[in-house]
Amino acid sequence: MSIPRSVYRKRIRRAQELMRENEVDAMLILSLENYRYFTGDVRKQPRMLIPSENEPTPIVFESEREEVERRTGLQAKTYRSLPEMLSAVISFLNSLEKDTPVVAVEMEFSTPAFLIERFRMANPHVEVVDAKQIVSPLRKIKDRYEIELMKKAGKLADIAMERAADLLKPGISERDVALEVEYYVRKKGAERLSFPMFVNSGERSLWLHGMATDKIIEKGDVVLIDIGPVYQGYCADITRTFVVGSAGSEQKRAHEAYLRMQERVIERIEEKKNEITVLELERENSEFMKAMGYNGLYVRGFVHGIGLGFEETPFPTIFPEDLRETISKGMTLSVGHSVLSIKGAGGFRIEDTIHVGDRVAHLTNFDRKLLEVG
Amino acid sequence: MSIPRSVYRKRIRRAQELMRENEVDAMLILSLENYRYFTGDVRKQPRMLIPSENEPTPIVFESEREEVERRTGLQAKTYRSLPEMLSAVISFLNSLEKDTPVVAVEMEFSTPAFLIERFRMANPHVEVVDAKQIVSPLRKIKDRYEIELMKKAGKLADIAMERAADLLKPGISERDVALEVEYYVRKKGAERLSFPMFVNSGERSLWLHGMATDKIIEKGDVVLIDIGPVYQGYCADITRTFVVGSAGSEQKRAHEAYLRMQERVIERIEEKKNEITVLELERENSEFMKAMGYNGLYVRGFVHGIGLGFEETPFPTIFPEDLRETISKGMTLSVGHSVLSIKGAGGFRIEDTIHVGDRVAHLTNFDRKLLEVG
């Protein structure tokens, strides 16, 4: 799908309005996510400066100028060495004609710490502020082009989980499940996975995070599989819990509680959108889990935003201030981020990607029951 | 291969010596690379504190404690929520009993900027310094266990390039070459690729960075392929340049110049190890390229360190102070990082991973000639 250039121009103009409201003179774009959001172009280690007035300036390696200008419709500054790149940034900042320009810089999950440190060292007269205040209000509400891409990512997540379910059998390694599923979903059109797949089996299903190791899947294992395929930059996220063999009653009860919690959250989002905050949802969840007898076995952080970032605003497990975010129409969310971790029984999660419209639309739809395989 | 626990203990003791020499009270480990280097354990989003005296403390999710303690031989602190994790860090720092503890924190390529910002906000009484001064002197000189793993990574790089050479034909997309090669090399034992493969074809061979897109490989394209397989955490890096069809005389000349430059650098490293700096090598290269008539077409930054990090100390394109590093016995280096970018002819690179012993050993060995395919 090709997004018209006017859409990117509109995003830039809205960012510039927010920059002026927040007295920010310029924004330095360092992440592919934001570069892609504002230009549609895809480039490794992109650099772009957006002033609060006038056109943005991509800063690119000399040999890439022609293509960047053709793809973005913007005029680029070029460099042939690191010092030239730095001086392009500095001369742009000087052109703002401010004694202490205020520059918004991304401090996201994917922004390398050293870049910010180096930027500060090279530009001691600049006041650095977090670009989140400019970018998040835009990115957290998806436009119709973004929803289309998210839907396609969701479909890829479903077929990836289907493939994983087919592969899960005693004797296969976690790593081989992950490799075969990744190959399959990329072959079907995923650009990449937004994070290395989790195939957490046995004791490892209890983990907060995950990965796929050489461990062999055994009969009796609970296996928690989390997959995040990316379609044209947009991420979907799906998690399902499997039992290799037959599920026991404690496992069934835990899974059922988790599913009920997920369904409740989605109902509440549908009823209370534009009114309820992430914190209120989280509190209701904690109460629910307590009532189910799972106090202390469930980590807060059930919902997070998803889009160009596989975790983006609202993202309360990393940015506690996001607990105050109101769940709003237009958001795309991952619901089911936290694990219910019960020693002896296993770890349980059901995670889906949803779009908050007038109704809630599920973008991932693979069977939500506790899946017995092998 | 299993590395004895005594090796990890020795690495920790040496880091603690450097901490005391540099008046650092504790080091906060946030990256998998350093966590793996000091413990041998593999974990997503690891957190560990190393005091300048006494044993390190991993900070882990409650359900992972048992496994972490078994794998590291260290006693862990546990958490069940983000606030608990933060308070575990803070109580550790308080236990140092310093008014202004000096804490070394990683500010590497892979350290997310927000983590450092949050750590500073949560610990305003702490003096944060860069952990590079503690970690780099250790990690840049490889021990025999590391060399063995690097050799295996190098072999995987060679077979991956062989597979790429087999696949390159007019009509295949850059993306499909990348997908098939990645699947193959992971099947053969690579844990992952350290960065998404470059399959830069046609005009894109001129680029500084790279990726693999939907572009179809065409007859006449120069194709630059860069692959970084990882074996048990250790990275190798190989780049080769292909012509789809027959190479022209300008292409042959450029490739020959690049190869000569690479050979010269390796000879100089063998002769002058423990004496020559990265800057001196880079200067000689620039002179050589100027003499060849390629002034301004070649970006500095020919050599970088490689190991657990796919780019690590010395890493002069990102950390200019690394230009002062002396090329030393025990280093593993990638030689051939920069592209010779000639409009009309194409981009040319030959990159190999080497070990600086008494002699230089090539860890990657795939054919270095300009490869005509299709």
Record the tokens describing residue A324, joined without a space: 């105050």
Degrees, nearest 5: CA angle B67-B72-B75: 80
User: B43 and A206: CB-CB below 8 Å?
Assistant: no
Rounded to a whole number of angstroms, the distance from the CA of B359 to the nearest CA of chain A is 32
Token pair listed for B161:
């390039």
Residues of A in contact with B106 (CB under 8 A): 113
Contact A366, A352 (CB under 8 A): no
Cβ separation of B112 and A109 shorter than 8 Å?
A: yes
User: Which CATH number is B5-139 given?
Assistant: 3.40.350.10
Residue B87: pLDDT band (50, 70, 90) is confident
A329 Cβ partners below 8 Å, 6+ apart? A141, A273, A274, A356, A357, A358
Number of other residues whose CB lies within 10 A of the CB of residue A215:
16
Per CB-CB distance under 8 Å, the chain A contacts of B300 are 81-82
Mutation choice for A interface testing from B2, B44, B128 by most A CBs within 10 A: B44
Which residues between 165 and 194 in chain A have a beta carbon less than 8 angstroms from any beta carbon of chain B? Answer: 179, 183, 186-187, 192
Lowest-confidence segment of A17-21, A304-308, B122-126, B343-347 by average pLDDT: B122-126
Q: Do the Cβ atoms of B238 and B351 come closer than 8 Å?
A: yes
Q: Which residues of A touch B42 (CB under 8 A)?
A: 211, 213
Residue B369, pLDDT above cutoff 90: yes
For residues B112 and A108, the answer to whether their CB atoms sit within 8 Å is yes
Q: Distance from A97 to chain B by nearest Cα, in Å?
A: 28
Q: Does B70 touch chain A (CB under 8 A)?
A: no
Which CATH number is B144-373 given? Answer: 3.90.230.10
Q: Average per-residue pLDDT in chain B?
A: 94
pLDDT in tens, B206-265: 998 899 999 999 999 999 999 999 999 999 999 999 999 999 999 999 999 999 999 999
- How far is Cα A279 from Cα A300, in angstroms, rounded to an integer? 10
Percentage of chain B exceeding pLDDT 70: 100
- For CA atoms B150, B152, B155, B160, the dihedral sign is negative
**Does A4 reach chain B within 8 Å, measured CB to CB?**
no
A-chain CB neighbours of B117 within 8 Å are 107, 130
Is the pLDDT reported for residue B22 higher than 90? yes
Same fold, B5-139 and B144-373: no
Nearest by Cα to A229 from A314, A168, A155: A155
pLDDT at B299: 80
**Inter-chain residue contact A208 with B63, CB threshold 8 Å:** yes
Burial B143-181 (b: 16+ CB within 10 A, else e): eebbbbbbbbbbbbbbbbbebbbebbeeebbbbbbbbbb
Q: A29 with A50: CB under 8 angstroms?
A: yes
B78 in A contact zone (CB under 8 Å): no
**Least Cα separation, residue A359 to chain B (angstroms):** 32
Residues of B in contact with A114 (CB under 8 A): 107-109, 111, 318-319
ipTM score of the complex? Answer: 0.94
pLDDT at residue A361, rounded to an integer: 98
CA distance A63 to chain B (A): 6
Over residues A232-242, the pLDDT tens digits come to 999 999 999 99
* Chain B residue closest in CA terms to A321: B118
Q: Which of B70, B81, B222 to substitute to test the interface with A, most A CBs within 10 Å? A: B81
Give the whole-angstrom CA distance, residue A266 versus residue B148. Answer: 52
| pTM, two decimal places | 0.95
User: Which of 299-328 (B) contact A at CB < 8 A?
Assistant: 299-301, 317-320
Which regions of B131-287 does DSSP assign to beta strands (E)?
A: 192-193, 198-201, 222-227, 229-231, 234-235, 238-244
In B199-238, the residues whose Cβ lies within 8 Å of chain A are: 203, 206-211, 213
Q: Measured between beta carbons, which residues in chain B are less than 8 angstroms from residue A213? A: 42
State the pairing for strand pair B127-130/B48-51. Answer: unpaired
For chain B, domain boundaries: 5-139, 144-373
Q: Cβ A111–B112 below 8 Å, yes or no?
A: yes
C-alpha span between B344 and B203 (Å, rounded): 8
Low-confidence ranges of chain A (pLDDT < 50): none
Separation of alpha carbons B140 and B192, rounded Å: 22
Q: Is the pLDDT of residue B312 over 90?
A: yes
Q: Which residue has the tokens 């394209």?
A: B221
B111–A110 C-beta distance less than 8 A: no
Token digits of residue B294: 């390629």
- If pLDDT is split at 50, 70 and 90, which confidence band does B292 have? very high
Mean pLDDT of B170-179: 98
